[in-house]
Amino acid sequence: MKSRTSFGQRTLPREYFVSDDVFRAERERIFYESWLLVGHVSELDKAGAYFLFELDHESVIVVRDGAGNVRAFHNHCRHRGSRLCREASGTFGATIQCPYHAWTYGLDGALRTVPAMTDVAGFRTTDYPLHPVALETWQGFVFVNLARRPQPFAEALPALVGKFAHRRADELRSVHRKVYEVDANWKLIFHNFSECYHCPTVHPQLNRLTPFRNSENDLDEGPVLGGPMWMTNPEGSMTMGGARCAPAFPALSAEERGRVYYYTVFPSAFVSLHPDYVMLHRALPVSRGHTRVVCEWFFHPDAIATPGFDPMPAVEFWDLTNRQDWELCENAHLGVVSNAWEPGPYSELESQLAAFDRHYLRVMNPEPVAVKARG
C-alpha cells in the first residue's frame, strides 16, 4: 500500500459549515466557476433530446442538436426572460419555442423566427441567440461550467484527460437512478465518501468485499482524488451477494477486474468504477445544511440485453451503503454546528479528506473570506 498522510491537518473550522457568508462564497467561487458533472450522453439518444440542470436560480438546457452535437444553453428566452421549458427531460422537435411570445430557436441556439418584430428598427435575429453554457464530455459524462470565462476543462481537471478511456464509458446506459435528500453540509458528504476509516464499524457488508486497508490512492492532490480498492474475490463485484451482475468489461486487465476505483471530482461528483458497472453520485448543495444526491448505475447495453440481466444486487448493495452513509453525515452535521465543537485531527486513513480541504481552501481563499457564524 502506498504510504499516506494527512500532514497533521485538522478538520475545517465550524464556520465553514454554519456561516451563510461562507455558503454564498462557495456558490460564487466554487459552483458558479467549476466544471459540474450533470449527466451522461446516453440521456440524449436522438436529436432534440434534452435534460435540465438546475442550481439555485440557474437553469440549463443540455440538448443534442440536429448534427449530433451535445450543447448547453441557459433556459430563458432572449426576449423577456421566460423559461423555455419546465419539464426535467424530454424531446424537442426541430426547434425550441418560447411559450410566452413564440420566439423560436434552433437546437443550435440560433434565433430562427420572431412574430411581429419586422418593424422594430435595427432588430436582427442574429443578435439574439440563446446564451450558451460551456460544455465538455469525459467518457460520456457531461460537464457544464456556468462561468462567463471558464477555465478550459483540460486545465481545470487534467487528471481526467485520457484516464480510463479504455473502459468506453460513453457506451454505457443508466439502468437505475435514486435521489437522496440529505440533511448535511455538502462537504461532509465528500468527506464521508473519501475515507473507509468508518467501514469496519458501519459497513460490514462492504468491508467483507473490500477490507478497508485494501486500498491505495493514485491521485492524492488537486480537484480529482482517489484510487483503487482490491476485492477479496477478484472474480466478484460490489453487490449484495458479491457476484457480478454482468460480465467484466472486456478491455479490463486481470488486475483491474479485481479492483474497484473510487474518485471524487471536485466539487460535485463521485465516480465508482466496478469491473461490471459504473456508479455515479452527483451531489449539489440545496442549502448550507441540506444536500441533494443523485445516484445512478450504468451497464453496457450488451449486458442489459442479456436474458435474465438483473442490476438490483448492485443497486440494493449501494442503496444500503448510501443510507448508512447519509445517517453518518447527518449525525456529523448535527455535531459540527454546535457552538462547542472544535476541529479534530485527521487520521492517517483520512489523507483524502485533508487533500480535499487543501484544495477547497485554495479555491475559496484567494483572499480571506469574512465569516459570520450562525448557529
> Can you name the CATH fold of 1-32+159-366?
Naphthalene 1,2-dioxygenase Alpha Subunit; Chain A, domain 1 (3.90.380)
Average per-residue pLDDT for the chain? 94
Angstrom CA distances, 72 to 75, 146, 147, 150, 332, stand at 9, 10, 13, 14, 37
Q: Which CATH superfamily is domain 36-156 in?
A: Rieske [2Fe-2S] iron-sulphur domain (2.102.10.10)
- Whole-angstrom distance, CA of residue 331 vs CA of residue 323: 12
Residues of the chain with CATH 3.90.380.10: 1-32+159-366
Mean pLDDT of 223-233: 96
For 298-336, the pLDDT digits (tens) are 999 999 999 999 999 999 999 999 999 999 999 999 999
Mean pLDDT of 14-41: 97
Query: Residue 8: its pLDDT value, please?
Result: 76
For 62-93, the pLDDT digits (tens) are 999 999 999 999 999 999 999 999 999 999 99
For residues 357, 362, 365 and 371, what is the CA-based torsion angle, rounded to 10 degrees?
Answer: -10
Q: What is the CA radius of gyration of the chain?
A: 22
What DSSP line would sit under 286-353, residue for residue?
EETTEEEEEEEEEE-HHHHTSTT---HHHHHHHHHHHHHHHHHHHHHHHHHTSTT----BPPGGGHHH
Q: Which of 167, 354, 154 is nearest to 272 (CA)?
A: 167
Residues of the chain with CATH 2.102.10.10: 36-156
Mean pLDDT of 262-281: 97
Q: Which of 356, 358, 280, 276 is nearest to 313 (CA)?
A: 276
Q: How many CB atoms lie within 10 A of CB 366?
A: 8
Q: How many helices (H) and strands (E) are present in the chain, helices listed first? A: 10, 16
